[in-house]
């Protein structure tokens, strides 16, 4: 059993839980993309850990590229403003693109990315989100084709997810203690 970080209030998904979720998603994607040679687009930086696991759970041929967007800065709430920090190196015309994201909250980041990539003439654009945040009365702007699991409307860290660039290396998904980000 991993030791709990003192800034984490509660573990939502253990390493073992995560493995089971990723394995299930990998099977779904392998089946759907068996003959499509998808281009996996990992959204830096948060999705790096999930992408590394997910791509090894996918059995069909694939390629991978990275995009970096910035939406939050170091604040805890989405501003709705998305900035492309690093673009793809791959031409996506005619390709089946699968965007891999760590967490979907308002969906603003992803809806912006989807529109941007669709403008480049890919055969398809779908989304695999490891987490979807359940926010009361709020419907995300997009509907991901693949969803790992849901989390409550709290600040989530670990498994790639950060607060002010910390906690990304925690091997589990946890809830950050509110006193850490309200200070």
Among 11, 22, 40, 104, binds ligand XMP (CB under 6 A): 104
Q: Is 174 in the site for Mg ion (CB under 5 A)?
A: no
Of 87, 105, 134, 162, the active-site residue reads 105
Among 49, 54, 58, 108, binds ligand XMP (CB under 6 A): 108
Strand order of the sheet with strand 63-70? 83-86, 63-70, 39-44, 96-104, 124-134, 146-152
Of 16 and 165, the one with the shorter C-beta distance to Mg ion is: 165
CA-CA distance, 172 to 35, in Å (whole number)? 33
The span of 16-24, 89-97, 114-122, 153-161 binding ligand XMP (CB under 6 A) equals 153-161
Q: Is 148 in the site for Mg ion (CB under 5 A)?
A: no
CA-CA distance, 40 to 55, in Å (whole number)? 8
The span of 43-51, 52-60, 110-118, 134-142 binding Mg ion (CB under 5 A) equals 43-51
Query: Taking CB within 5 to 8 Å according to partner kind, which of Mg ion, ligand XMP, none is near residue 95?
Result: none
Cα dist from 129 to 121, 165, 182, whole Å: 22, 20, 27
CA-CA distance, 59 to 53, in Å (whole number)? 12
Q: How far is the CB of 5 from ligand XMP (least distance, A)?
A: 14
Q: Is 130 in the site for ligand XMP (CB under 6 A)?
A: no
CA-CA distance, 148 to 83, in Å (whole number)? 26
Q: How far is the CB of 82 from ligand XMP (least distance, A)?
A: 7
Strands 83-86 and 63-70, bridge-based pairing: antiparallel
SS3 17: helix
Bridge partner list, 138: none
Q: Is 42 in the site for ligand XMP (CB under 6 A)?
A: no
102 is a catalytic site residue: no
Sites of contact with ligand XMP (CB under 6 A): 46, 71-72, 78, 101-109, 133, 155-157, 161-163
């Amino acid at each position: 059993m991993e030791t709990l970080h003192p800034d984490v209030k509660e573990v939502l998904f253990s390493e073992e839980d995560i493995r089971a979720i990723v394995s299930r998603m990998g099977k779904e994607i392998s089946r759907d993309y068996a003959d499509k040679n998808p281009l996996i687009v990992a959204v830096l930086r948060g999705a790096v850990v999930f992408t590394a696991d997910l791509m090894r759970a996918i059995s069909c041929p694939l390629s991978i590229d990275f995009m970096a967007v910035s939406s939050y800065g170091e604040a805890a709430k989405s501003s709705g403003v998305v900035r492309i920090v690093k673009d793809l190196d791959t031409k996506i015309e005619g390709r089946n693109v699968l965007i891999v994201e760590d967490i979907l909250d308002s969906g603003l980041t992803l809806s912006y990315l989807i529109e941007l990539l669709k403008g480049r003439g890919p055969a398809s654009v779908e989304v695999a989100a490891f987490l979807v945040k359940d926010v009361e009365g709020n419907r995300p702007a997009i509907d991901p084709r693949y969803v790992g699991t849901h989390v409550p409307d709290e600040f989530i860290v670990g498994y790639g997810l950060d607060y002010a660039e910390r906690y990304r290396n925690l091997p589990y998904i946890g809830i950050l203690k509110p006193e850490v980000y309200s200070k």
